[in-house]
Amino acid sequence: MNIRIGSAPDSWGVWFPSDNQQTPWLRFLDEVVEAGYELIELGPYGYLPTDIAILKKELEQRSLKVAGTFVMRCLEDPSLWPEIEKEVLGVCELLVALDAKFLVLIDDTYTDLATDAQLAPALLDETGWKQLIETTNKIADLTAKFGIKLVFHPHANTHVEYEEQIEKFLDDTDPDRVSLCLDTGHHAYRGGDCVAFIRKHHKRIPYLHIKSVDYNIQKKVEAENIHFAKAVSMDMFCEPSKGVVDFVAIRDLLREIDFDGWAIVEQDMYPAPFDKPLPIAKRTRSYLREIALG
């Protein structure tokens, strides 16, 4: 097994390119090093500097390497393609300059993250699904030109969130063009079995997001139909050592299949007081070392 462990701005309460409630980017870089990580994702495009010279200098000063970053867009809306293409091209240029390998693609949420207002149907019709697949393939073709691997991230409150939807997505996409970023927390939140799913589809999963779910809060969220952002603010996603996801079983499976890939800790917490993320990040890094996961 060869697993490269890192962390991401998401674990510091960062969801947007700019937001006064978010940890300032220099503080994030300092603290991710203090927590014991040498590998990061970049977070939302524009959170860290997009000026390559500035960003490379800051990363090199801290001996940080980059695994990738994400693009989150409404993939079923063809009118957005010019905007999506522009963002993907900018992201890929940045990733290449930083010797990063992955672009994590996420369909946008069908509810507003702040208000829970319905932005789109929770389920796509056949036309919408075909458009989502087509857009994904177009993005995969773009990233391939840069030598960047596209990994699709199933995500709660998007059109690819439950296991049956992920299975359909895998059936409808080319394994040579599109791989998967399995987020253990989102998978568990939507009732999936992470270990069984990785065992079945590990050949298409070179990249993991590590997080877990607090069982009691999850049940409250389900029972009261609490919207996603509110659930996050309630700490539904919790430290890997304290949640429902069995990371010892995942470790054993990764050893069994001789996993050779990346695993980025992402503990959704927004908004987060600036002094909250670092102690959690330190405990998480220590826990992963204790169970020999990276």
Q: How far is CA 289 from CA 3, 37, 208, 282, 285, in A?
A: 12, 11, 17, 11, 6
pLDDT given at position 16: 93
pLDDT given at position 207: 98
Comparing CA positions, the residue from 146, 39, 148 lying closest to residue 101 is 148
Q: Which amino acid is at 126?
A: E
Write down the residue that tokens 């909250």 correspond to.
276
3-state secondary structure of 53: helix
CB 158 within 8 Å of CB 109: yes
Give the CA count within 13 Å in the CB-facing half-sphere of 225: 2
pLDDT given at position 50: 95
User: What is the token pair recorded at 247?
Assistant: 């990371």
DSSP 122: S
pLDDT given at position 294: 82
Question: Would you give per-residue pLDDT tens digits along the chain (294 residues)?
Answer: 999 999 999 999 999 999 999 999 999 999 999 999 999 999 999 999 999 999 999 999 999 999 999 999 999 999 999 999 999 999 999 999 999 999 999 999 998 877 778 889 999 999 999 999 999 999 999 999 999 999 999 999 999 999 999 999 999 999 999 999 999 999 999 999 999 999 999 999 999 999 999 999 999 999 998 889 899 999 999 999 999 999 999 999 999 999 999 999 999 999 999 999 999 999 999 999 999 998
User: What is the token pair recorded at 201?
Assistant: 């589809």
Residues listed for the chain: 294
pTM, 2 dp: 0.97
> All domains of the chain, ordered by start, with CATH?
2-290 (3.20.20.150)
Q: Backbone dihedral region of 69: left (phi > 0), alpha (psi from -120 to 50 degrees) or beta?
A: beta
DSSP 147: T
Write down the residue that tokens 């169970």 correspond to.
291
Q: In 14-137, which ranges are E strands?
A: 39-41, 65-73, 102-107
| Omega before residue 271 within 30° of 0, cis | yes
Q: Which amino acid is at 202?
A: H
Comparing CA positions, the residue from 171, 173, 155, 169 lying closest to residue 110 is 155
pLDDT given at position 115: 73
pLDDT given at position 117: 84
Q: In the chain, which ranges are E strands?
A: 2-7, 39-41, 65-73, 102-107, 149-152, 178-183, 207-210, 212-213, 237-238, 260-265
Distance CA 188, CA 8 (A): 20
Q: How far is CA 238 from CA 196, 228, 233, 242, 245, in A?
A: 21, 14, 11, 7, 10
pLDDT given at position 112: 85
User: What is the token pair recorded at 29?
Assistant: 């870089």
User: Quick one: how far is CA 143 from the chain centroid?
Assistant: 17
pLDDT given at position 278: 98
